[in-house]
Amino acid sequence: MRKDQAETSVLFELIAERYERKSLLITANQPFSGWNDVFPDPGMTVAAIDRLVHHSTIFELNVESYRRRNANDRQKERRRQLPTDDHNGATTIAN
């Protein structure tokens, strides 16, 4: 999702201001390879990533989203509770 220049400038300024001065914790749902879709300027993208990774420890978590898993579980539960037809004209509720 591309952001406008004002939004990305604020993020870049934060990264640049904290660089080699203070700690900064960033969480993202996209790998660095997808950051060109966030920053409108490729040069700003490279500079931001360069500052972030220079003295960083990166924890990459490749796990299923718990929100997606919970939504899928709720959807399965709703399907399980839908009335079903036993082909003899009787309707039952699955439990």
Could you give the number of structural domains in the chain? 2
| Residues 14 and 46 placed together within one structural domain of the fold | yes
How far, CA to CA in Å, does 44 sit from each of 26, 55, 71, 92? Answer: 17, 18, 36, 60
**Structural domain range at position 85:** 71-95
pLDDT score at 1: 59
| Residues 10 and 42 placed together within one structural domain of the fold | yes
| Residues 58 and 75 placed together within one structural domain of the fold | no
Residue by residue, pLDDT tens for the chain (95 residues) are 566 778 888 989 999 999 999 999 988 888 899 888 888 888 999 999 999 999 999 988 888 888 999 999 999 998 888 776 666 665 555 55
Helix ranges (DSSP H) in 1-95: 5-18, 42-54, 66-80
| Relative orientation angle of helices 5-18 and 42-54, to the nearest 10 degrees | 30
Distance CA 18, CA 37 (A): 23
pLDDT score at 53: 93
pLDDT score at 28: 86
pLDDT score at 89: 60
Helix ranges (DSSP H) in 19-65: 42-54
| Residues 56 and 92 placed together within one structural domain of the fold | no
